Each structure stands twice: as C-alpha cells, then as structure tokens.
C-alpha cells in the first residue's frame, strides 16, 4: 500500500498475475540482460535521493476497483492509497497515528462519542480543487449509503456513525451512537473523495446520515438509490476522470490484464513535508502477470523491478543472486494468516464434528515443509500471531486421520452403499460427502494445498475437486456465497484486534466478509463488547473467549502466517520493509541518476 493514510481495516489477501505486450510511452535508457549483468554501485551516490525513473511492480491480476469504497482486496488498496488520502495515517515505523489531511489528532469528548477534526487549509485535490469539510461529509455519506453494495465490508466500521457535520470549511464533527475503541483509526482512516467529481448533481445533499442508518428511510428517499447507481458505475472505479484524489500520485492509465500506471502528482499539496509521501519515482507501474514463473523471468530480464511475493519454491530454486547480482532477495512479515474456509451454509459442513475432522486431516507441518519450505509458522486461531490478544495456548488440531474417522462417524458419515464415498442422510436424502475447493487462478500455493488435501480426503472416503477462477470472478462467487470450501488469507494493520468484520453474524449477509456464514450469538456479544471497551485487559478476556469458541467450532481450518519472500532490482535505494500493509513504500524508493532506466519521451 502507499505511504498514505492507511485504511486501517481487514482486507482480503490475494498472494499473487500479468501479461505480455507491456506498451510503455517511455524511452528505455538502459534495458536488457547485458546492461544489468554489468550492474555496479561503485562510485555511485547512494546517499542523496534523486527523483526520476519508474518502479515497475508485479501484480497477479487486475484489482477489483480503484475506488476505495467499492474494493476490498489488498492490491486495490495498495494502489489507490497512492491516489487518495485520509485525515490521519499510520506511521509504518512507529505504527502510531499521525495527522495528514487533519492538522492534528482529533479532539475527543470525554464520553468518546464526539470527534472533532480540524483540516489543514492547504490541502487540495490533484485537479487543484480545495479539499474541505464538504468532501469529508460527502465521503461519509457515500460509504454509509446502504445501496453501495460493494462497500459493505468497509461500511461495518462506520455503522456506529450517527451524524457528521461540517460547521465551517475546515472543521468536521463526527458523532457516534456508542463508543468504539478504534474510532480514531477508522474515522481518521477513511479515504476522502472529491464531492465535486463524484457527486456533480449534489445527490448526497438530498439525504442525511440518519437516513443511511434507517433502511425504511433510505428506501423512501430516491436520492440515496440514485447516488448509489451513479457511484457504483464501472467508470467510477477505473477511469482517471473520476479517480481524483489528494495523494502524491494520479491515475494515468489502466489497461485491463496489462498494467495500471500512476503518474507523480506534480501539484501535490504536501510536497516533501511527509517523508512517507515522497514521490521520487516519476511513475509507479503495476504490471499484471498472472503466472508467477513468467513474472520471475520478467524480473530477471529487467521488465519488472519488484515482486512483493514469490512462492518459496521459486524463491529458493529459481532466483540465484549469484547469477543475477543486480537483484536482491528479501523476506518480510505482515499481520496475516492463511486458512481453509468451510461454507457452513452447505449441509455437509453444518456439524462442527465434521469440520473438526477435516482439520485433523490437514497435515500443516508437512505442508509448511513441502509447500512453504519453512517460510511460515502455524496459527491456531483468528487473531494474528504477534498480537497480545493471540491465544498461544490453544491446542493445534494435529494431523490425526484416525481421530478424523471417529469424528466423521460420530457426525453420521458412513459408506452405506460401498462405493468408497462417505454418505449421510440429510433432510431425508442420502448425500455423498463430495465438495469443491474454489481458489483463485494463478495462486500455485493454494492450488497445491487443495490438490494435496484432496488426496488426503480421498483416503477416508471424501471426494474433493478443485476449481480455479480468475480473481474478480472468484471474489464474486465468494461474496455471493457460491462455494463449498475455499483457501484464502486475511491481512490487516498492526492495531488492536477487532474481528467484527469477519466473524459477526451481521457480516454473513449483503456481501459482508463473513463468507463462511458463521453465526454464533455468544461470539456476536463478545465482538460487540470488544468494540465498546476501552480497557485493554477486558478486551483481552473477550478476545480469548472468542478464540476458544472459534477453535471449537472450526469454521476455518487455520493454516499458517506466511513470511513474504520478495526480490527487487538493486538500482533502487531507500528500500525498507514494515509490518504495516503492504510492507513497502515504493514511492519512497529512488534511483541514482546514472542508473535510471526510464525517462519521459
């Protein structure tokens, strides 16, 4: 993600996509294997940053959208946060909140229900239009519009907002229904969009924040639906005409299945005042290569500069820096985990003993050795390892086929007709234990997990197949609950845990992030209490009980927290990695003038 104000929320993690025919309107100054083989930093100034050059970054496939409110995948966020900014941002080094569009941290009332933000008077969008409190109010009305369906995952963090006022152009008052211990993160972390671009007819002026909180009132006001229809149109998610922000870069071009190109915002309001908003590269280019061996070849050939995730096997066996001394290999960490999700809406997964049995059939240690080559550590619950809330005392579901068979039998599964497949009477019908793993195409690790696990399941009489879909189609299926089982990852920022987005029952509907349909009254109570509690000791108690329930119910089979093997071209200086998403700030990277490869034609 960009060095801009972090959207501090959980986003869907897609490890690794991209394409040939990368037509760039530039003059390549030094490209090709011969030049890079002769790469040397001897005699080069690597201390004083020099603007210029491009960073060409690999992405596995096109993002969902570049509109911050209609996208929920990590790649979308990484790109659009170079374009849009928030009132506050999270410092990657300290992980503390700092002012950005706001001139200071918010003034908070003693009851934690009112937040006052004062805006800097110097902020303007990339088209020169001033950014004022009207844009902040508009942004809250847009994200809270219940008919902007794609914003459901983000909207849950703002359901508690009952009023937003703009008493003058540089003051914003936000009032909450009840206290929320992370309110400053999320109120300060909402990307601010331009009202003059995205609401030219003033439709949001015709409805109130209160109406967005009342489904009946929203249904009665045609302006709410009319705005949502306008805002959700595809061009509002991908056209440079509409994706206007106040950030250090602007969207120049998006060629589907090829690349997304951002251009340095020469009129950026913050100049060099914020070190995390430096814009040394003239362009940031996200090149789509949906096969990772091809991406690695492109890195070696100099066609791309950085791969943020390389599967461990390729990292170990196909990237030899002795043979490619112009490349540097690194690993970094993120607050993330990988899991298998069982769709509880499917009758075959309704009994928790069945889900426990499935977890006992996953040999995590072997998978970490063979697929991840040790670049991961096992996790046993839904809190990110390293967080104080993570319960390290939870016993793992060890690989134990005999225990799995016992649990399956207790859940009523048996091979009644001798065909080698377990079956069970469900709603009066005999149902075979057969299902499909749905995964995103191009993710070899998830495909390997699914294939190996299908072989393991076959040994106990369960038939599993694997279906691969392109990322956008895959997400559509997942969010509409059209899947049996899936392999995915969650990644979040290093902030105190609020698992509401993924685990509260309200998020199991309307494209919320509770994809597996887990509904548990006690979990709902714990998550609601956690949000209202400012005492860390009490929140820790709530999170420990929450984890124990999830551990018993096993709606997920938790796999591991991965390390991120990566590689970049050594001509880039100032390269650092952090736990704050996405782990790197490419806009702060710079290239000494003699080594710059691209200039404007």
561-583 pLDDT tens trace: 999 999 999 999 999 999 888 89
pLDDT given for residue 29 in this prediction: 32
Is there a contact between 433 and 454 (Cβ–Cβ < 8 Å)? Answer: no
At residue 493, the pLDDT reads 81
Answer whether 425's CB lies under 8 Å from 433's CB: no
Longest dimension (CA), the chain: 79
What's the pLDDT at 274? 86
User: Torsions phi, psi of 255, nearest 5?
Assistant: -105, 110
The secondary structure element, H or E, covering residue 235 is helix 235-238
If pLDDT is split at 50, 70 and 90, which confidence band does 601 have?
A: low
pLDDT at 599 over 80: no
Report the alpha-carbon distance of residue 284 to residue 59 in Å, rounded. Answer: 12
- Mean pLDDT to the nearest integer, 454-467: 98
> What percentage of residues in the chain have a pLDDT greater than 90?
86
The predicted structure's pLDDT at residue 73: 84
Look at residues 571, 593, 577 and name the one whose alpha carbon lies nearest to residue 55.
571
The pLDDT of residue 291 is above 60: yes
Dist CA 178 CA 79 (whole Å): 33
Six-digit token pair at 317? 């066996």
Average pLDDT over residues 548-560: 98
For residue 62, the Cα-to-chain-centroid distance in whole angstroms is 14
pTM: 0.87
Rounded-to-integer distance, Cα 507 and Cα 142, Å: 19
Residue 324 near residue 300, CB atoms below 8 Å: yes
Give the separation between CA 9 and CA 153, rounded to whole angstroms: 9
- Average pLDDT of the residues of the chain: 92
Give, as one character, the DSSP assignment of residue 322: T
- In this model, does residue 27 exceed pLDDT 50? no
According to DSSP, the residues that pair with 261 across neighbouring strands are 253, 285
Q: What pLDDT is stored for residue 590 in this prediction?
A: 97
Rounded Cα–Cα distance for residues 445 and 370 (Å)? 10
Q: What is the pLDDT of residue 98?
A: 96
Q: What would the mean pLDDT of 306-318 be, rounded to a whole number?
A: 96
Please identify which residue in the block is written with the tokens 């109120």.
187
Q: Which of 22-31, 326-335, 481-490 has the lowest mean pLDDT?
A: 22-31
Report the pLDDT averaged over residues 487-493.
90
Q: If you average pLDDT over residues 258-286, what whole number do you get?
A: 94
304 contacts 73 by C-beta, under 8 angstroms = no
Specify the pairing of strand 434-440 against strand 485-492.
parallel
Query: Cα(first)–Cα(last) distance of the chain, in Å?
Result: 28
Are residues 516 and 376 in contact, defined by beta-carbon separation less than 8 angstroms? no
Segment 166-170 mean pLDDT:
98
Q: What span, in angstroms and rounded, lies between the C-alpha atoms of 368 and 364? A: 6
């Amino acid at each position: 993600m960009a060095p801009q104000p972090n959207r501090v929320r959980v986003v869907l993690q897609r490890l690794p996509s991209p394409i040939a025919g990368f037509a760039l309107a530039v003059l390549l100054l030094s490209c090709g294997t011969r030049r890079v083989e002769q790469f040397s930093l001897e005699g080069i100034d690597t201390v004083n940053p020099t603007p210029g050059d491009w960073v060409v970054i690999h992405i596995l496939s096109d993002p969902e959208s570049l509109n911050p409110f209609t996208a929920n995948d990590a790649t979308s966020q990484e790109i659009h946060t170079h374009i849009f900014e928030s009132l506050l941002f999270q410092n990657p080094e300290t992980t503390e909140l700092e002012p950005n569009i706001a001139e200071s941290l918010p003034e908070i009332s003693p009851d934690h229900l009112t937040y006052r933000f004062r805006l800097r008077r110097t902020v303007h969008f990339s088209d020169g239009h001033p950014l004022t409190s009207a844009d902040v109010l508009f942004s809250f009305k847009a994200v809270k519009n219940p008919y902007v369906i794609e914003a459901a995952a983000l909207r849950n963090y703002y359901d508690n907002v009952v009023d937003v006022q703009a008493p003058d152009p540089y003051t914003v008052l936000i009032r909450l229904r009840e206290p929320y211990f992370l309110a400053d993160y999320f109120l300060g972390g909402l990307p601010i969009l331009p009202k003059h671009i995205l609401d030219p007819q003033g439709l949001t002026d015709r409805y109130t924040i209160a109406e967005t909180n009342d489904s009946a009132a929203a249904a009665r006001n045609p302006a709410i639906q009319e705005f949502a229809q306008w805002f959700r149109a595809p061009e509002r998610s991908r056209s440079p005409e509409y994706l206007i922000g106040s950030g250090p870069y602007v969207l120049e071009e998006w060629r589907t299945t090829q690349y997304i190109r951002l251009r340095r915002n020469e009129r950026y309001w913050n100049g060099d005042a914020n070190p995390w908003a430096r814009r040394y590269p003239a362009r940031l280019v996200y090149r789509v290569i949906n096969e990772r061996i091809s991406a690695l070849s492109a890195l070696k050939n100099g066609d791309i500069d950085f791969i943020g995730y390389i599967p461990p096997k390729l990292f170990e066996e196909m990237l030899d820096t002795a043979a490619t001394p112009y490349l540097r290999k690194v690993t970094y960490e993120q607050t993330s985990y990988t899991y298998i999700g069982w769709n509880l809406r499917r009758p075959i997964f309704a009994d928790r003993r069945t889900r426990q049995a499935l977890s006992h059939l996953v040999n995590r240690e072997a998978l970490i050795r063979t697929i991840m080559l040790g670049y991961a550590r096992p996790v046993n619950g839904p809190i990110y390892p390293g967080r104080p809330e993570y319960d390290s005392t939870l016993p793992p579901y060890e690989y134990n086929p005999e225990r799995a068979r016992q649990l399956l039998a207790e859940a009523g599964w048996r091979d009644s007709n001798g065909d080698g497949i377990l079956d069970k009477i469900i709603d009066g019908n005999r149902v075979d234990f057969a299902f499909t793993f749905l995964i995103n195409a191009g993710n070899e690790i998830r495909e390997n997990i699914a294939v190996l696990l299908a072989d393991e399941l076959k040994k106990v009489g369960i038939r599993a197949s694997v279906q691969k879909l392109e990322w956008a189609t895959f997400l559509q299926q997942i969010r509409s609950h059209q899947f049996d089982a899936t392999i995915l990852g969650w990644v979040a920022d290093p902030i105190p845990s609020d698992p509401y987005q993924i685990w509260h029952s309200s998020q199991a509907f309307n494209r919320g992030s509770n994809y597996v349909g887990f509904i548990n009254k006690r979990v709902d109570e714990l998550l609601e209490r956690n949000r209202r509690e400012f005492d860390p000791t009490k929140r820790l108690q709530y999170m420990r009980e929450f984890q124990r329930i999830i551990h018993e119910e096993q709606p997920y089979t938790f796999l591991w927290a991965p390390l991120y093997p990566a590689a970049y071209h050594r001509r880039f200086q100032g390269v650092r990695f952090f736990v704050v998403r996405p782990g790197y700030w490419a806009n702060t990277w710079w290239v000494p003038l003699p080594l710059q490869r691209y200039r404007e034609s």
